[in-house]
C-alpha cells in the first residue's frame, strides 16, 4: 500500500523520509515483528519469571533508548527503524497485558481506551500537519506522531486480538483466519481505490492480532493444537528472519523512498465514487465481524487465552469478593479448593519467613494445578473461574519479581486466600 504525501505544515527542519516504502517487505517484517512482540514478551515475563511489571519497565527504558537513536538519524536506516518496531511491539503488548493481567481491566474496556487514544493521536497529528501519510515523515514532529501512533496500534491490536479470543474460544490455528480475511478485504479495497491512508492504518492494526496468533500457534504445545515450538524457539526463529530480511533490504535498498516520484509505480486509481464504495464495504465488513463474534460468543466455549492472561469466555467482573468466595465453595470440588488454599498458605508462610526461592517454587505448584484443572473447573462456574484466575496472576507476578516486595506479595496472597474461603 503506497500513497502520495500531502504537503502539510513543515515547521521543522526537513529530513529525508524516515520510514520505509510500503512494499511487500514492509508487511512481511511488520508481521514478523508482531510475532516476536508476543512470544518474546511471554518468554521474558513467564518463562524467565521476570514479572509483568518489571518486564514492562525494562522495555519502556529500551524503547526510549532505541527511539532516541532512531529519531536522531537524518534518514531511514533499516536496522535502526526495524529494531524500534520490534521493541515497540513488545512494549505495546506489555502495556495491554498490565491493564488486563495486573489491573484486571476487561479487554473490551482496554480496546475502547486504546481506540479513543489512537483517534486522539490521529486527530492532533492531522490538525497540526494536515496529513497522516507515512510518506511525509520528514520532520521531527511528524516522526514523533508516527511512533506514538505505532505504539498505540500495537496496544490496540493486542487488546482487540485477545478480546476476540475471549469472545470466541478459537484455538491458535483458527484464530489466524479472521485477521487474515480482514486484511485480504482491506488489500482488495486499496487496489480498488480506497483511501490509502485509511487502509494503511487499518492494515497496520490488523497485522498485530495476525502476527500474535501466528506466534501463539507456533509456541502452543501440540497437545493444545499448536506447533509446540515454545516461546523461546519461536522468538529466535522470527528474530533471525527479521535480521535476514533487514540485511537484505540494507544492501538492496528495495524499501527506500526515492526522491524521484517518476521511479515509483503508479498508485491505484482512486475516485470519490470508489472511495465511497470502499467505505461502505469496510462498514459492512465491520458489521459482519461484530455479528460473527456475537454469534460465536453465544455458543458454548472456553477461553483460548490459557495461561497468557485471565480473560476467559465470560467475565468475572460481575462478582464481588464475597460472591466469588461463595461460588468457589459451592461449585468447585472441595478437595481441589483445599489443595489450592494449602499451596497459597505455604507460599505466604515462606514469603513471611524470607524464603523467597521456596515461595517461587511452591507457587509454581499452584500455577500447574490451576492450569491442569481449568478444563474441569471453568465449565462448572465460568465467572468464579475467571475471578480466581484474575487473582492468581498478580500472585505469580509478585512472587516471581526479581526484586519482590513482601508487602505486595502478602496482599496478593491474602486476597487469593480470601477468594478460596
Q: Which three cell numbers stand for residue 203?
A: 492494515
Return the closest-CA partner of residue 45 out of 284, 349, 411, 397. 397
195 pLDDT higher than 50? yes
Q: How far is CA 267 from the centre of its chain?
A: 31
Does 144 have pLDDT greater than 80?
yes
What is the rounded distance in angstroms from the CA atom of residue 363 to the CA atom of residue 235? 26
> CB under 8 Å to 341, separation ≥6 — which residues?
417, 420, 421
pLDDT grade, residue 161 (50/70/90)? Answer: confident
The answer for residues whose C-beta is within 8 angstroms of residue 187's C-beta and 6 or more apart is 1, 199, 203
Confidence of residue 225 (pLDDT cuts 50, 70, 90): low
Separation CA 37–CA 29 (nearest Å): 12
Phi and psi for 266 in degrees, rounded to 5? Answer: -65, 135
DSSP symbols for 326-388: HHHHHHS-HHHHHHHHHHHHHHHHHHHTT-HHHHHHHHHHHHHHHHHHHHHHTTT-HHHHHHH
Distance CA 81, CA 25 (A): 13
Coil, helix or strand for 216? helix
Which of 123-127, 165-169, 214-218 is modeled with the greatest confidence?
A: 123-127
Read off the pLDDT of each residue in 80-87 and give the average, rounded to a whole number: 91
H-helix or E-strand containing 260? none
Question: pTM of the predicted model, to two decimals?
Answer: 0.65
Q: Locate cell 497496520: which residue?
A: 204
Residue % of the chain over a pLDDT of 70: 86
Whether 22 contacts 1, CB under 8 Å: yes
| Whole-Å CA distances, 305 to 169, 217, 372 | 8, 11, 14
* Reported confidence tier of residue 3, pLDDT bands at 50, 70, 90: very low
In this prediction, residue 16 carries a pLDDT of 54
For range 107-114, the mean pLDDT: 91
More confident residue, 125 or 39: 125
pLDDT for 237: 87
CA distance 417 to 163: 28
Give pLDDT, residue 128.
93
Encode pLDDT of 237-259 as tens digits.
Answer: 888 888 898 898 888 887 776 55
pLDDT of residue 229: 78
- Cα–Cα distance measured from residue 110 to residue 79, given in angstroms and rounded to the nearest whole number: 32
Ramachandran bin of 221, using left for φ above 0, alpha for ψ from -120 to 50, beta for the remaining angles: beta
Mean pLDDT (whole number) for 39-64: 80
Residue 112 has pLDDT above 80, yes or no: yes
The dihedral through the CA atoms of 209, 176, 47, 239 has a sign that is negative
- The pLDDT, as a whole number, for residue 190 is 92
Amino acid at each position: 500500500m503506497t500513497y502520495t504525501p500531502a504537503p502539510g505544515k513543515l515547521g521543522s527542519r526537513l529530513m529525508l523520509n524516515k520510514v520505509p516504502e510500503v512494499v511487500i517487505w514492509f508487511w512481511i517484517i511488520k508481521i514478523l515483528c508482531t510475532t516476536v512482540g508476543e512470544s518474546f514478551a511471554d518468554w521474558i515475563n513467564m518463562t524467565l519469571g521476570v514479572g509483568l511489571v518489571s518486564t514492562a519497565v525494562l522495555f519502556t527504558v529500551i524503547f526510549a533508548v532505541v527511539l532516541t537513536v532512531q529519531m536522531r538519524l537524518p534518514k531511514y536506516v533499516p536496522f535502526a527503524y526495524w529494531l524500534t518496531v520490534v521493541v515497540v511491539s513488545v512494549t505495546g503488548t506489555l502495556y495491554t497485558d498490565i491493564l488486563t493481567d495486573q489491573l484486571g481491566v476487561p479487554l473490551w474496556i482496554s480496546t475502547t481506551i486504546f481506540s479513543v487514544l489512537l483517534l486522539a493521536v490521529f486527530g492532533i497529528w492531522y490538525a497540526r500537519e494536515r496529513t497522516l501519510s507515512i510518506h511525509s515523515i520528514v520532520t521531527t514532529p511528524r516522526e514523533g506522531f508516527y511512533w506514538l501512533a505505532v505504539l498505540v496500534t500495537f496496544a490496540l491490536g493486542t487488546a482487540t486480538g485477545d478480546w476476540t479470543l475471549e469472545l470466541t474460544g478459537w484455538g491458535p490455528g483458527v484464530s489466524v483466519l479472521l485477521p487474515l480475511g480482514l486484511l485480504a478485504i482491506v488489500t482488495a479495497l486499496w487496489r480498488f481505490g480506497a483511501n490509502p491512508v485509511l487502509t494503511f492504518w487499518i492494515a497496520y492494526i490488523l497485522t498485530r492480532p495476525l502476527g500474535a496468533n501466528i506466534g501463539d500457534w507456533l509456541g502452543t504445545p501440540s497437545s493444545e493444537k499448536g506447533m509446540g515450538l515454545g516461546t523461546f524457539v519461536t522468538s529466535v526463529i522470527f528474530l533471525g528472519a527479521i535480521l535476514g530480511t533487514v540485511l537484505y533490504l540494507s544492501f538492496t535498498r528495495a524499501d527506500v523512498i526515492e526522491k524521484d516520484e517518476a521511479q515509483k509505480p503508479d498508485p491505484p486509481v482512486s475516485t470519490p465514487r470508489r472511495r465511497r464504495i470502499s467505505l461502505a464495504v469496510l462498514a459492512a465488513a465491520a458489521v459482519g465481524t461484530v455479528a460473527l463474534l456475537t454469534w460465536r460468543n453465544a455458543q458454548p466455549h472456553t477461553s483460548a487465552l490459557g495461561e497468557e492472561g485471565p480473560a476467559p469466555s465470560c467475565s468475572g467482573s460481575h462478582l464481588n469478593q464475597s460472591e466469588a468466595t461463595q461460588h468457589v465453595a459451592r461449585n468447585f470440588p472441595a478437595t481441589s479448593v483445599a489443595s489450592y488454599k494449602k499451596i497459597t498458605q505455604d507460599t505466604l508462610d515462606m514469603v513471611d519467613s524470607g524464603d523467597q526461592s521456596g515461595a517461587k517454587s511452591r507457587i509454581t505448584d499452584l500455577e500447574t494445578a490451576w492450569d491442569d484443572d481449568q478444563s474441569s473447573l471453568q465449565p462448572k462456574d465460568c465467572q468464579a473461574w475467571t475471578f480466581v484466575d484474575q487473582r492468581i496472576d498478580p500472585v505469580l507476578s509478585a512472587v516471581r519479581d526479581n526484586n519482590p516486595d513482601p508487602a505486595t506479595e502478602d496482599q496478593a496472597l491474602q486476597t487469593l486466600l480470601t477468594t478460596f474461603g
